[in-house]
Amino acid sequence: MATFSSLSDSKEPGFGVYVHWPFCAAKCPYCDFNSHVRHQPVDQPRFVTAFLTEMAAMRHMSGPRTVTSIFMGGGTPSLMNPSTVEAILDGIANLWHVPDGIEITMEANPSSVEATRFRGYRAAGVNRVSLGVQALNDRDLKFLGRLHNVEDALKAIGLARDIFPRMSFDLIYARPNQTVEAWEQELKQAVSYAVDHLSLYQLTIEEGTPFYGLHKAGKLIVPDGEHSAVLYEATQEITEGFGMPAYEVSNHAAPGAESRHNLTYWRYGDYAGIGPGAHGRLTRGRDKIATSTERKPEDWLQRVEDHGHGMIDQEVLGYDEQADELLLMGLRLKEGIDLVRWQSLSGREPDPDREQFLIEHGFIERLGNSRLRCTPAGMLILDAVVADLAC
């Protein structure tokens, strides 16, 4: 494969392809993603055929495009056979223009990692892996419902470092009874294993998950807002000190190693969403189309076989809706939003009184006349800032 090339500094949104593999070996109690456990082997060749069929429908909608990143998420994509991954990547390359060396990421869980499988993914074209480590102590891994232990995680990290040009892994913090000192120690350990990217998420209690029921019943207590803010600030300080500052609320990278695919989302670019429960954004003429597919894997599969795609919704977004989405996504980034682009969609300037209020209180700042971004203080209350500016 050609040398990896990064487009992250161009500020261009790009065009991504997202492929959702919906199957997991077990459902984590905090997870509200579209993931499903199946106790019988998945018919991977049948799913590959359906992925390729739905891709063709998305290609018809998108028209000819140059792909700037590919992301295989889930679920647990590392449960796929390397031949499945190869067939999916070949299908994308047959439908769109895929330059050599673009970022091709696959999510993996440490419990499903083995060297031969990783080498198979690399041979198929994957050049970046994102590992769902989540914690670096066995007690919290068990609490989070993970199937791996710390030994498994470190083995997977070592394999990923050896086999792939780029590697990232996730950690969840703000866990019950987690002290600032314990998190700082764990994070410093994580940075020592990282190559160029870390995703660090605060534990959130999502409706419909087992953790939600426990939390509602008072059996699961998470850190309050003040303690979570201290943990967040410690996260920023440590990662920046080690040369991996935040470029987005929860993502940290060495300069130039930002996730190209995630930047496409946050810069409000187009992306084709393929597979059960996948979402997409595709520009057609002057319209922006929001696509979503059937969530249940078997129902999606049947729908694709019957209709040529698994889409259940294709919504044309109005300019106000696009402006709101651009604001919501773009203010997550350290680089902020392109004001000219936002104004062209919204048809207005930011409300001067609201903007001045937020600037005076240290929540946002202008970068010249063309960009607007949140300050570190604003990132702590990001939802409120977005709501205020969107009004």
Q: Label the pairing between strands 287-293 and 311-317.
A: antiparallel
Domain membership of residue 145 (yes or no) is yes
Q: At what angle do helices 115-124 and 82-95 cross, to 10 degrees?
A: 10
CATH code for the domain in which residue 213 is found = 3.20.20.70
Is pLDDT at 73 greater than 70 in this prediction?
A: yes
| Mean pLDDT across 47-71 | 97
**120 and 253: one domain?**
yes
| Mean pLDDT across 290-301 | 98
pLDDT digits (tens, 9 = 90+) for 29-54: 999 999 999 999 999 999 999 999 99
Task: With cut-offs at 50, 70 and 90, classify the pLDDT of residue 76.
Answer: very high
**341 and 244: one domain?**
no
**Strand ranges for the chain from DSSP E:** 15-21, 23-24, 36-37, 69-74, 103-108, 128-134, 166-173, 197-202, 246-248, 251-253, 270-274, 279-284, 287-293, 311-317, 337-338, 364-367, 371-374
Among residues 265, 297, 325, the one where a domain terminates is 265
pLDDT digits (tens, 9 = 90+) for 155-169: 999 999 999 999 999
**227 and 359: one domain?**
no
Task: With cut-offs at 50, 70 and 90, classify the pLDDT of residue 313.
Answer: very high
**222 and 361: one domain?**
no
**258 and 345: one domain?**
no
pLDDT of residue 350: 87
Domain membership of residue 323 (yes or no) is no
- For residues 47 and 391, the model is more confident at 47
Domain membership of residue 177 (yes or no) is yes
Where in the sequence is the domain holding 355, given as residue range(s)? 336-390
Percent of the chain with pLDDT over 90: 90
pLDDT of residue 349: 86
Is pLDDT at 3 greater than 60 in this prediction?
A: no
Report the alpha-carbon distance of residue 117 to residue 129 in Å, rounded.
12
**261 and 342: one domain?**
no
| Closest-CA residue to 110 (of 153, 166, 172, 154) | 153
**126 and 36: one domain?**
yes
pLDDT of residue 10: 62
Domain membership of residue 133 (yes or no) is yes
Q: How many domains does the chain have?
A: 2
Is pLDDT at 4 greater than 50 in this prediction?
A: no
Domain membership of residue 309 (yes or no) is no
Among residues 240, 265, 290, the one where a domain terminates is 265
pLDDT digits (tens, 9 = 90+) for 243-281: 999 999 999 999 999 999 999 999 999 999 999 999 999
CA 84 from centre of chain: 22
Burial of 224 (0-12, 13-18, 19+ CB in 10 A): exposed
- Write the DSSP string, 92-153: HHHHSB--TT-EEEEEE-GGG--HHHHHHHHHHT--EEEEEEE-SSHHHHHHTT-S--HHHH
Among residues 246, 265, 284, the one where a domain terminates is 265
pLDDT digits (tens, 9 = 90+) for 177-229: 999 999 999 999 999 999 899 999 999 999 999 999 999 999 999 999 999 99
Report the alpha-carbon distance of residue 314 to residue 84 in Å, rounded.
28
| Closest-CA residue to 194 (of 266, 107, 257, 116) | 257
pLDDT of residue 141: 96
pLDDT of residue 7: 46
| Mean pLDDT across 104-120 | 89
pLDDT of residue 9: 53
Task: With cut-offs at 50, 70 and 90, classify the pLDDT of residue 6.
Answer: very low
CA distances from 390 to 86, 288, 290, 333 (A): 43, 19, 20, 17
